[in-house]
Amino acid sequence: QVQLVESGGGLVQPGGSLRLSCIASRSIGSFDVMAWYRQAPGKQRELVAAIISGGLTNYADSVKGRFTISRENAKNTLYLQMNSLKPEDSAVYYCNAKKWPENYWGQGTQVTVSS
């Protein structure tokens, strides 16, 4: 069983920045895809950003140009740099790791964007 532990969430004003981290209990290089999802109250969980083993990235249209996903294999850590935050970015953010048929989730970290 793989453990994913997120950190870095918090309260930030609109226009501010946060960096989320996700530390995995095994080498992140072993996963085909790592991603960040988010879920706001009353809404479905949605993909925010993903990075595949070759390094290609994919972003939701709503965060393109503002968020950056990256990874540091030596530290088994996935990051999400979030800039120019908006109130609509408020949600619980989840780290996800996939290598078929395995699919792992972290416990989530709360991000609140409010003045």
How far is residue 67's CA from residue 80's CA, in Å, rounded to a whole number?
Answer: 7
Cα 44 off chain centre by: 16
Task: Please check the confidence at residue 68 and state whether its pLDDT lies above 90.
Answer: yes
Residue 96 pLDDT class (50, 70, 90 cuts):
very high
Q: What is the pLDDT of residues 30-64, one digit of tens each?
A: 899 999 999 999 999 999 999 998 889 999 999 99
